[in-house]
Chain A
């Protein structure tokens, strides 16, 4: 997982509560993605960042989801208020470090959110 830290690893909240996830990749990643993975499904893209700019947030439910990437390194994904259907694993994926010159993504371990 190439040094991608996500916190918390697990979160249980009641519906209508807010929640935030953090992603701390090692430096050197221009591009960063957030994915959501429902049980038994593959990950689905939520938002893509190029440095600090969100260049594709078309799949992000903007009524309740927000994200930011300050200084083009760490990133935060927030849900307010959470709904039962938001229960999923939220994955952060920086692209490969610039010096490797490859087009692959490195995924963090994810945050498993349970909304009761």
Chain B
């Protein structure tokens, strides 16, 4: 699985877009970029994943650079409930062999 690098923590004002970066310069061609988040005292929750194209769902948007060495998770209108640790994971099999989590980014939404 690709090694990913994320900032340790970030702040964002409530109602603004939260942009969470992730570097994955060693990602291989068949590895997807997955994002999970973990709210305090809960298990991780799947957000979104993508390979090359940008993706959007009801939770977030994922922007992947053309060279696939980095990506950005966008929460368009952050709320206080979005405060969580966000994990960026590179995986070729959808996590079938188990997901490899780093330490993630602790996103704090400020009122």
Contact = CB atoms under 8 A, between A and B. Distances in A.
A51 to B, nearest CB: 14
B17 to A, nearest CB: 24
B95 to A, nearest CB: 6
Instruction: Classify chain B: how many residues form its interface, as a range.
Output: 20 to 34
Interface string B76-111: 000000000001000001111111111110000000
Q: Is the interface of B mostly helix, strand, loop or mixed?
A: loop
A97 interface: no
B84 to A, nearest CB: 13
Nearest to B93: A103
A44 interface: yes
A42 B103 contact: yes
Instruction: Classify chain A: how many residues form its interface, as a range.
Output: 20 to 34
A31 B93 CA distance: 13
Interface of B: 34, 41-46, 49, 87, 93-104
Interface of A: 1, 4, 31, 33, 35, 40-45, 48, 56, 91, 93, 95, 102-110
A93 B96 CA distance: 11
Given A31-B96, A103-B95, A42 B46 contact: no
